[in-house]
Amino acid sequence: MHTAEILSQGDEVVTGQTVDTNAAWLSTQLTGLGYQVVRHTSVGDRLADLVLLFREIGARSQLCVCTGGLGPTDDDLTAQAVAEAFARPLQLDPQALADLVEKYERAGRQMPAVNERQAMLPEGSVRVDNPWGTAPGFAFDGGGCFFVCLPGVPREMKGMFDQLVAPLLAERFAVRPGSLVTLRTIGVGESNLQQLIGPFDEPDVVLSYRTMLSENHLKLRFDPEVGEARITQVVESLASKVGKWVFTIEGLQSVSEALAVFDTSGGSHVEVTARHLADGGHTLATAESCTGGRIAAACTSVPGASAWFLDGRVTYSNAAKVALLGVTSEALDAHGAVSEVVARQMAEGVRTRAGTTFGIGITGIAGPGGGTEAKPVGTVHLALATPERTRHRLLRLPGDRERIQRLAVASALELLRRTLVS
């Protein structure tokens, strides 16, 4: 197996001003291509540190992808550090300079003299063009390692990696990628998933967990030589154990009969739910109290939501619940705003008024204040009005205000999704 490292340069990373998301992104890509990423290192804008680090990595790794330090200012030191570390003096790359001048010309500006620096590449290195920004990258051999240096701007770095670096690596290293299948779940924690799955010890596949907002993902990374039949067998076994918590499976090349009961089109929880809604020709309206517009915001994050998301009402006050949803004063007086009766009236009220297939009503106590012994912070009443009946759930959600609101949104969308697929 080929080992790889990642090196991030920049004071903003080591001082904590920036979270290094580039490193995680590159790791995912390299792991997907079949490399074993063994180390990430970040250093600040200090030449001596960088030179030392380049030499260390050159002595121990086969591949290193570096980000940052390619800008035009004095604290952009990557090329200079490479020059010193591996005796590769900087040389003007005429094509790089011509590209830079042209980029400025196209923007109607003259290139500042300071940017000429960005066309000075270490001797014997291969230029990696940057159609997404100004600074070109470069690749070279140093010690026993193949280094690829890219800019730190995520959009530029990602574009260059996907379109230019990945093909460069494929030419250079005989590494075959395995297959990756992801089971995306919602509403179940990582430890419960582990319990559902039980011991998992297969020689040809690695199982890992990843949490993404309200979702928990099960990632199955199969060795390159594993065939379709074996992949299907493992996924079927896992999916049957996790069952209803799986809302989509990503990365399958073919779908067996046993897997056909699952959605296999992929996407986030709200995207999958939206697709079920749209495919069925249904429409939705929402009436939110404790989630304050988050369910509407989640729905309208999906492009084309205007086809099915017709109306959202954020009724934070009791007066708005009465005026906008037809919630009755009797219900509010007898049960309080945070109650099953009011949640049902909200769901039914918004569905009727908006004329939609479904209506969601949600009311609860997100905190930090407002909790009582009978209705502590985290108490949420959720209702879904359908053409046939209104379903209700009482949720007791943990965490702070932000977490309670986020979990409440996920619960509402999941109740809708389950209703759509049942």
Question: Helix 340-354 to helix 318-325 angle, to the nearest 10 degrees?
Answer: 40
Closest C-alpha to 214, from 417, 378, 406, 399: 406
Collapsed DSSP state (helix, strand, coil) of residue 65: strand
Q: How far is the C-alpha of 42 from the C-alpha of 39, rounded, in Å? A: 10
Q: Nearer to its own copies by C-beta: 99 or 288? A: 288
Q: Nearer to its own copies by C-beta: 19 or 261? A: 19
Tell me if the bond preceding 136 is cis, omega within 30° of 0. Answer: no
CB of 397 to its own copies, least distance (A): 16
CB of 127 to its own copies, least distance (A): 26
Reading the block at residue 329, the tokens are: 């004063």
CB of 254 to its own copies, least distance (A): 26
Q: Nearer to its own copies by C-beta: 61 or 232? A: 61
User: 370 φ, ψ to 5°?
Assistant: 90, -5
CB of 360 to its own copies, least distance (A): 12
Decide the pairing of beta strands 309-314 and 246-250: unpaired
Q: Nearer to its own copies by C-beta: 8 or 185? A: 8
Q: Nearer to its own copies by C-beta: 25 or 173? A: 25
Q: How far is the C-alpha of 250 from the C-alpha of 210, rounded, in Å? A: 14
Q: Nearer to its own copies by C-beta: 121 or 337? A: 337
Q: How far is the C-alpha of 31 from the C-alpha of 6, rounded, in Å? A: 12
Question: CA-based angle 238:240:246, to the nearest 5?
Answer: 80
Closest C-alpha to 341, from 356, 358, 363, 360: 363
CB of 247 to its own copies, least distance (A): 20
Tell me if the bond preceding 376 is cis, omega within 30° of 0. Answer: no
CB of 179 to its own copies, least distance (A): 16
Residue labelled with tokens 């949490």: 211
Q: Nearer to its own copies by C-beta: 197 or 421? A: 197
If phi > 0 it is left, if psi is from -120 to 50 it is alpha, else beta; for residue 284 that is beta
User: 222 φ, ψ to 5°?
Assistant: -90, 145
Reading the block at residue 15, the tokens are: 């001082």
Closest C-alpha to 384, from 355, 353, 350, 354: 350
Q: Nearer to its own copies by C-beta: 144 or 304? A: 304
138 C-beta neighbours (distance < 10 Å), count:
23
CB of 12 to its own copies, least distance (A): 7
CB of 341 to its own copies, least distance (A): 20
Q: Nearer to its own copies by C-beta: 46 or 282? A: 46
Q: Nearer to its own copies by C-beta: 272 or 299? A: 299
CB of 53 to its own copies, least distance (A): 8
CB of 309 to its own copies, least distance (A): 5
CB of 261 to its own copies, least distance (A): 28
Q: How far is the C-alpha of 186 from the C-alpha of 216, rounded, in Å? A: 6
Longest dimension (CA), the chain: 83
Q: Nearer to its own copies by C-beta: 318 or 390? A: 318
State which H helix or E strand residue 353 sits in: helix 340-354
Question: CA-based angle 347:350:354, to the nearest 5?
Answer: 140
Collapsed DSSP state (helix, strand, coil) of residue 399: coil
